[in-house]
Amino acid sequence: MKIRDGKSLIGRVEQATIVRAVRSGLISLIPVLIVGAFALILNTFPVKGYQTFITTFAGGFLSNFFNLVNTATFGMLSVYMTYSISRAYMKVKADPDVPGSGAVFASLISFFVLTGVNLKTFGTDCTNPKAMFLAIIAGLGGSALYLMFYRALSRRKKVLFSKGANREFNRVLSTLIPIALVAIIFAAINLLVVTLFGANSFRELMIKLFGKLFSIGKGVGFFKGFFFVLLSSVLWFFGIHGSDMLQQGVMDAYFPAIGEGVAANPILSKQFFDCFVLMGGCGATICLLIAIVLFSKNRARRGLGATAALPMIFNINELMVFGLPIVFNPIMLIPFLSVPLICYSTAYFATAVGLVPVITNSVEWTTPIILGGYQATGSIAGALMQVFNVVLGVAIYVPFIRLLDRRTNEEAKRNFSSFMDFFKKNESGLNTRKLTDMNDVNGEFAKGLCADLQQDVEKRRFELAYQPQFNYAGECIGVEALLRWKHPVHDCIYPPLVVKLADDGGFLPQLEEAIVRKVLADRETVLKRFGDDIHISFNVTGTTVVTERFLQFLRQLDAKDPFKDKKLCIEVTEQATLAFDEKTKEAFNTIRGMGLLLAIDDFSMGQTSLNYLKDNMFDIIKLDGSLIKGLSTHQNCREIISSIVQLSATLNLPVYAEYVETEQERDTLHEIGCDLYQGYLYSAAVFIESENNSEKK
């Protein structure tokens, strides 16, 4: 669907503040969900012998322990959700002048008011996933009202402050009136509900309303069950725990569990829905899980599937519902509603015509598919019915997963383009600042890229391209190994960004060691390609090259296969200025003592660069690329290069010029006295596995 500004309706929905805040808030809950899910699995594992063991061992210690952890996680999930959604909402609004902590407290107060914290019946039933819709209302509504009140009071200079108190105290005090106003509004709403509708709380009112809605119509047949499944799924999609909202007024009255009541319809029981509809949880999400694992090409989504797989086998799907997320996800609306309806319909008619026996046995809702279908019906037909429904469900989910992948890739590419613009504009200013520490969209994007890079470094999923170096006579005298990381979505990533991400992530030493190993592995092929009498250089940052870890790494490689006579050269690049001290000199002497050469990259006439030459610490000088790029337009560049060449000649140091792209640049350098070149004039960087696949440095 399209709208006037040319953007898709789905895109507009996804960018809405409410949707972004809810999604971000739900994703923040994943650690809590993982802990809670495993505690629940361990406490409800549907094997009789296991249950006997955990309930009798040490007086039921294990069962009590798992129950405690489950209560502290799932039992309080809606409280955590209120907190995380409020924080996410304030983050989306990104107003540094408004204290975000006030919004969190306002939202939590609102949540407890709506759930009836004053009632004697208040407990974990009011704070577990069953109350997550109220958590969404309180998290969004409480934060929005707080933000509105704070801004209004600030404009009128009505916020509270205390003379003589420190700034932090006054900042907290300024939240008092906005929080109080939000609390008053939500308390008034709850009181209105109690007065007008006779319900004890807003939550109880919702339960009663859904019960009344379902009571429309007579009898309990196929269509009433169909409506139950539809309504439950719709509620789940909008963040309302459908099973809870429909439990008291609907499930218990019309579809009681085996042995807990007289069913109005012999086919329909709680176990029927558990076995044939809620496979993997609401939305028959076991089908979604299989579709993701088998057909999704999105690495993060597949990772979510792997993490959520074990809980979902036992029909615990909060990780998938919140992590994907399904809640408020317009792309997932159609399959999330249609798959359980189709599963319900096929199972109902298969039972009605006798293909599947009527369920007569009670089974735990955590019983995995196939086993659950067999135990509930006492027949293999029940298990086959589940398998049939799963296959149907997977087929329905697959095209929507592929659509989700495409939209994720499109959004990632837009974000990546914006992120790269930011990085290149601020590259020099980010040397002392971590990208991953920034609390904005660029910081979030950097964290994602950093995680992807770390995974690829661990699995050696990166490449080296080799750019040859030539003398004035056109003879190849060496090559430089250049890092190339190809992201599955964003293709080849700007190399300085790769180094920056590795440095921010704390795994730059691992990356550089992996590069050295790959250079050694490629050496024989490189020599066959470019000539036996060349040197091979590779880059190592100045922060790494002097560390004891890197020196020990080189010693181990040298012990296995000596570097001597291999003509390997370390190009020292500077993330930060090298410390010109005895430790650095000793490290460089150790490296050169192994038979390795040292080159100083990006050399200019600065005082720091000249200091490196004073004690003859390097074997090769590589000119700062900006000097070469400015050669044709700035006379000063020519003079600086000439001075460096003359100084280097007295020290008997070869000088290389990078980024040589035209014959005019080469000839000018030759006139100055620089006869060693690297650049696009001669060759782009070459992937030795496929010489046709090259790219410019």
Give per-residue burial for 223-233: e unless 16+ CB within 10 Å, then b.
Answer: ebbebbbbbbb
Mean pLDDT of 144-152: 92
CA dist., res. 215 & res. 253, Å (int): 10
Whether 165 has a pLDDT exceeding 90, the answer reads no
Mean pLDDT of 171-194: 90
DSSP conformational letter for 600: E
Average pLDDT taken over every residue of the chain: 87
Per-residue pLDDT tens over the stretch 31-41? 998 898 889 88
Q: What is the structure's pLDDT at 696?
A: 40
Mean pLDDT of 281-287: 93
- Give Cα 247 to chain centroid, integer Å: 35
Task: Quickly count: other Cβ atoms within 10 Å of residue 53's Cβ.
Answer: 12
Per-residue pLDDT tens over the stretch 212-260? 777 776 778 899 899 999 999 998 888 777 777 787 678 888 888 887 7
Q: What is the structure's pLDDT at 201?
A: 80
CA dist., res. 202 & res. 244, Å (int): 14
Whether 607 has a pLDDT exceeding 60, the answer reads no
Secondary structure class of 171 (helix, strand, coil): helix
List the single range of 55-59, 387-391, 392-396 with lowest mean pLDDT: 55-59
CA dist., res. 512 & res. 257, Å (int): 61
- Give Cα 657 to chain centroid, integer Å: 41
Q: Following DSSP, what letter does each residue of 463-500 receive, concatenated?
A: EEEEEEEEETTS-EEEEEEEEE-EETTTEEPPHHHHHH
Asked if 676 and 656 touch (Cβ cutoff 8 Å), the reply is: yes
CA dist., res. 357 & res. 649, Å (int): 93
Q: Which amino acid is at 449?
A: L
pLDDT class of 656 with cuts at 50, 70, 90: very high
79-83, 165-169, 239-243, 630-634: which has the highest mean pLDDT?
79-83
CA dist., res. 114 & res. 124, Å (int): 14
Whether 207 has a pLDDT exceeding 80, the answer reads no
Q: What is the structure's pLDDT at 581?
A: 74
DSSP conformational letter for 248: I
Greatest alpha-carbon span in the chain: 102
Q: What is the structure's pLDDT at 261?
A: 63
Q: What is the structure's pLDDT at 695?
A: 43
Q: Which helix (H) or strand (E) holds 59?
A: none
152-166, 188-202, 447-461: which has the highest mean pLDDT?
447-461
What is the pTM for the complete model shown? 0.71
Per-residue pLDDT tens over the stretch 261-274? 666 678 999 999 99
Per-residue pLDDT tens over the stretch 485-524? 998 888 899 999 999 999 999 999 999 999 999 999 999 9
**Domains within the chain, CATH numbers bracketed:** 1-214 (no CATH), 218-407 (no CATH), 462-695 (3.20.20.450)
Task: Quickly count: other Cβ atoms within 10 Å of residue 437's Cβ.
Answer: 10
Structure-token match 């094997």, residue found: 47
pLDDT class of 58 with cuts at 50, 70, 90: confident
Task: Quickly count: other Cβ atoms within 10 Å of residue 332's Cβ.
Answer: 23
Whether 345 has a pLDDT exceeding 90, the answer reads yes
Q: What is the structure's pLDDT at 691?
A: 44
Which residues lie closer than 8 Å to 488 by C-beta, 6 or more apart?
297, 299, 452
Whether 29 has a pLDDT exceeding 90, the answer reads no
CA dist., res. 268 & res. 618, Å (int): 82
Closest to 538 measured CA to CA, from 566, 577, 500, 558? 566
Per-residue pLDDT tens over the stretch 435-453? 888 877 788 889 889 999 9
Whether 694 has a pLDDT exceeding 50, the answer reads no
CA dist., res. 22 & res. 89, Å (int): 8
Q: What is the structure's pLDDT at 28?
A: 87
